[in-house]
């Protein structure tokens, strides 16, 4: 899968030197990247450090991005490579481990552990329950977008409604979830 | 503010024009609450995608659940459960809205493969799932109440081996009628491989289950007819 139209526009802006566009990109992909990196490092602090390094590299290398993969796949690869290098260098500095280091020890865990979650587990459950409780029209449009990655045009055809309605339903879903997060004090402050 | 947030939501999905994008990015730069909301859009997205992945592993869990529920369940039963779990709940509808047109078919075919459909089934009432699995595994002709002949679709005739099985030479249809509601108020239907399962709550409080390779376009008439005569 190549780069999406939206990301392509964002990249063009960044390539043209628009730093605000780069900030938007960082905000958009930080949660996903943090999720991957916390799974690898098992440490939120360490993941944050790697996340910052990744985006610095993204900024430096954006001109080399050819759009052959999705933007996040590209960011993900940079992040993972940095994590691997960091992991290896940490071990190589520690003579106790250097001698006994074998290939298995380089294997990273694939899944996140509860202690590295971005949102507390109970808050996640509450949020998912809230999303499930959204009205059918809103939930369907939002799920088609978020889970299936459909474009607004595709969703409009599936749901047999105007694109503007799709856009408002998806926004409505996000708005309600944000309100719920505020109300439940999830990730505030 | 809402208009800006709506545009930001569209920006997140890559659905803004270049000009709109530049305009909203500029606004975000001077508004921390907008940046905070944009970050949370990403967080919500990550959360939903990860939970969608976790739902897939629930299929394995539920397979084991059904095996424990009834140790006599064979591999065939487990396979049927998997079919139901993976090929999913399609659509719920009121009988007066039950018209299958081109758009609906498109919507249905999309729903079959969607993760949302999987989530819906996994969240569906377990009693309904158990009922459907039982119906799929056994025609339960001995447990079914007698059917009204008026309910049988035109062109279908009863099988000599099973009083609840009907065929028109190409399609087969099984009926199962019992005093059970499962909390269903409207007709629900589900697709499993090439078969469809219709759960039809009757006005007299009974539940009619129809199961076979009968698509909604044919079942529509049958259900309308049942409601007219029940």
Q: Return contacts of A126-129, CB within 8 angstroms, 24+ apart.
A: A126/A180, A126/A184, A126/A186, A127/A177, A127/A180, A127/A181, A127/A186, A127/B44, A127/B47, A128/B47, A128/B48, A128/B51
How far B19 CA lies from chain A's nearest CA (Å)? Answer: 10
Q: Report the gap between the CA of A88 and the closest CA in chain B (Å).
A: 28
3-state SS assignment for residue A137: helix
CATH 1.10.10.10 fits A119-189, yes or no: yes
Is residue B64 assigned to a domain?
no
Residue B116: inside a domain, yes or no? yes
Q: Work out the pLDDT band at B54, boundaries 50, 70, 90.
A: low
Task: Judge if B38 and B86 occupy the same domain.
Answer: no
What is each CA distance from A19 to A13, A16, A70, in whole angstroms?
A: 8, 9, 21
Query: Taking 80 as the threshold, does the pLDDT of residue B5 lie above it?
Result: yes
CA distance A86 to chain B (A): 25
- Reply yes or no on whether the pLDDT at B229 is more than 80: no
Q: Are residues B167 and B86 in the same domain?
A: yes
Average pLDDT over residues B88-114: 38
* B134 and B220 inside one domain: yes
CA gyration radius for chain A?
Answer: 20
A78-87, B23-32, B94-103, B159-168: range with highest mean pLDDT:
B23-32
Interface probe for A, chosen from B2, B7, B9 (most Cβ of A below 10 Å), is: B9
Q: Which among B91-100, B168-177, B210-219 has the top mean pLDDT?
A: B168-177
What whole-number percentage of chain B has pLDDT above 90? 17
Average model confidence (pLDDT) across chain B: 68
- Comparing B131 with B199, the larger pLDDT belongs to B199
Tell me the C-alpha to C-alpha distance, in Å, between residue B230 and each of B3, B26, B92, B178, B203. 51, 63, 20, 14, 7
Average pLDDT over residues B6-26: 94
Q: pTM to 2 decimals?
A: 0.56
The pLDDT assigned to B20 comes to 93
Is residue B36 located within the same domain as residue B137?
no
| Contact call for A157 and B12, based on CB within 8 A | no
Q: Is B9 on the interface with A (CB under 8 A)?
A: yes
Residues B86 and B139 in one domain: yes
Shared-domain flag, residues B120 and B223: yes
Determine the distance from the C-alpha atom of residue B77 to the mean position of all C-alpha atoms in its chain, rounded to a whole number: 19
Contact flag A31-B35 (C-beta cutoff 8 Å): no
Q: Give me the domain span that covers residue B220.
A: 74-229
> Which residue ranges in chain A fall short of pLDDT 50?
93-116
Cross-chain residue pair B21–A143, CB shorter than 8 Å: no
The mean pLDDT value for B24-37 works out to 92
Would an 8 Å CB–CB cutoff place B2 in contact with chain A? yes
Please compute the mean of the pLDDT values over residues B18-23 and round it to a whole number: 93
Q: What pLDDT is recorded for position A63? A: 92
B18: contact with A, CB 8 A cutoff: yes
Q: Which chain B residues touch A10 with a CB distance below 8 Å? A: 14, 21
Q: Are B85 and B62 in contact (CB under 8 A)?
A: yes
Q: Are A10 and A53 in contact (CB under 8 A)?
A: no
* Residue B36 shares a structural domain with residue B80: no
Give CA–CA dist A158/A152, Å, rounded: 10
B136 and B221, same domain (yes or no): yes
Q: Which residues of A touch B9 (CB under 8 A)?
A: 167, 170-171, 174-175
pLDDT of residue B194: 64
Residues 121..160 of A with a Cβ closer than 8 Å to B: which?
Answer: 124, 127-128, 131-132, 139-140, 143-148, 151-152, 157-160
Could you tell me if residue B62 is inside a domain? Answer: no
Q: Return the domain boundaries, chain A.
A: 1-117, 119-189
For residues B106-110, average pLDDT: 43
Q: Based on the domain organization, do B16 and B93 belong to the same domain?
A: no
Fold agreement between A1-117 and A119-189 = no
In sequence order, which residues have a C-beta less than 8 Å from that of residue A135 and are 6 or more positions away?
Answer: none
Q: How confident is the model at residue B27 (pLDDT cuts 50, 70, 90)?
A: very high
Q: Is the pLDDT of residue B83 over 50?
A: no
Same-domain status, B117 and B20: no
- The reply to whether residue B9 touches residue A171, judged by beta carbons under 8 angstroms, is yes
Question: Do B153 and B198 meet the contact criterion of CB atoms below 8 Å apart?
Answer: no
Is B141 within the bounds of a domain? yes
Contacts A148 to B, Cβ<8 Å: 114-116
Domains in chain B, number = 2
Quick check: is B63 in a domain? no
Which pLDDT belongs to residue B126? 55
CATH number, domain of B117, equals: 3.30.200.100
Whether B187 is in a domain gets the answer yes
- Choosing among 3.40.50.300, 3.10.105.10, 3.40.50.1370, 1.10.1740.10, the CATH entry for A1-117 is 1.10.1740.10
**Cβ-Cβ contacts under 8 Å for B100 (sequence gap 6 or more):** B108, B215, B216, B217, B220
Nearest to B116 among A9, A13, A140 (CB): A140
What does the pLDDT look like over B200-218, one tens digit per residue? 888 888 888 888 888 777 7
């Amino acid at each position: 899968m190549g780069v999406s139209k939206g990301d392509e526009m964002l990249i063009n802006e960044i390539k043209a030197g628009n730093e605000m566009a780069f900030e938007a990109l960082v905000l958009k992909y930080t949660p996903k990247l943090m999720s991957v990196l916390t799974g690898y490092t098992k440490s939120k602090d360490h993941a944050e450090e790697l996340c910052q390094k990744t985006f610095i590299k993204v900024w430096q290398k954006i001109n080399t991005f050819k759009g052959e993969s999705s933007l996040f796949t590209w960011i993900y690869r940079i992040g993972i490579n940095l994590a691997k290098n960091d992991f290896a260098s940490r071990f190589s500095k520690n003579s106790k481990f250097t001698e006994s280091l074998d290939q298995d020890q380089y294997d990273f865990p694939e899944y996140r552990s509860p202690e590295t979650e971005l949102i507390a587990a109970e808050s996640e459950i509450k949020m998912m329950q809230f999303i499930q409780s959204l009205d059918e029209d809103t939930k369907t449009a939002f799920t088609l977008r978020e889970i299936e990655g459909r474009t607004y045009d595709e969703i409009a055809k599936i749901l047999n409604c105007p694109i503007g309605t799709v856009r408002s339903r998806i926004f409505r879903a996000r708005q309600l979830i944000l309100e719920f997060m505020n109300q439940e004090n999830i990730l505030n402050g | 503010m809402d208009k800006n947030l709506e545009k930001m939501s569209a920006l997140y999905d890559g659905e803004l024009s270049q000009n709109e994008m530049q305009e909203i990015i500029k606004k975000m730069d001077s508004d921390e609450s907008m940046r905070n909301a944009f970050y949370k859009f990403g967080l919500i997205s990550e959360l939903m995608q990860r939970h969608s992945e976790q739902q897939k592993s629930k299929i394995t869990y539920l397979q084991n659940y059904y095996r424990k529920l009834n140790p006599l369940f064979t591999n065939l039963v487990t396979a049927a459960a998997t079919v139901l779990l993976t090929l999913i709940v399609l659509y719920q509808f009121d009988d007066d809205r039950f018209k299958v047109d081109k758009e609906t078919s498109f919507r249905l075919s999309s729903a079959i493969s969607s993760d949302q459909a999987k989530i819906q089934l996994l969240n569906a009432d377990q009693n309904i799932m158990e009922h459907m699995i039982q119906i799929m595994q056994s025609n339960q002709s001995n447990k079914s109440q007698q059917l009204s002949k008026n309910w049988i679709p035109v062109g279908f005739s009863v099988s000599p081996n099973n009083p609840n099985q009907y065929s028109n030479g190409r399609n087969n249809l099984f009926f199962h009628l019992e005093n059970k509601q499962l909390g269903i108020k409207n007709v629900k239907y589900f697709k499993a491989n090439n078969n469809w399962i219709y759960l039809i709550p009757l006005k007299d409080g009974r539940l009619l289950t129809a199961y076979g390779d009968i698509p909604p376009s044919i079942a529509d008439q049958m259900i309308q007819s049942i409601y007219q005569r029940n």
